[in-house]
Structure 1
Amino acid sequence: MTWLMWLLVLAVLIGLATLWSPIMVKADRLPPLRSYWWLILMAVIWTGDALAGENRPGLERTTKGILAAAIWLNFAIVAWRRRGRSREVEPAD
């Protein structure tokens, strides 16, 4: 395998690692959504590069697409889990 293929494998592993955290951490220990602003910026840039990356190699576009999809999915999981936690009814005293 060439180093470019290893880069793609590494991107997939990093993407899976970013998804592991919001799934395995308890919902009350997740950081607030406003702390993810830099990840959203990276995801927007990488999504644009993956979709319309002119004169870029296909493997680079694929790698950025995988990482951007993992970040978007990570953000969606965190938002969903935090929303579910906020809708839980507090017990009455």
Structure 2
Amino acid sequence: MIKLVGEGHVLIKEFQTEEEGLDYMRKNKDDLMWYYSYYELVVPGEKTIWAVSDTLISDAEFRKQVDAKIAEKRDNNTLPEEG
């Protein structure tokens, strides 16, 4: 099973083939880039670019954490101005 992993510790999605994963990444590029600084396909037996944790959290949990941090910064007026 091939895994799309973000930030080295978030399981975004699993795929049967590398091509399915690459296709998903192409179609969801904007959404992935909004939440993740980096993400990659982790193929069994191949070396990863980034260090990947043995314990992965779900994509939904990670997005909830990111959205909560953004809301907190918005409430505290500490969000940077959009350029």
Report the TM-score, using the length of structure 2 for normalisation. 0.28
Q: Which has the higher contact order (CA 8 A, sep 6+)?
A: 1
- Greater per-residue helix proportion: 1
Normalized against structure 1, the TM-score is what? 0.26
Task: Tell me which structure has the larger Cα radius of gyration.
Answer: 1
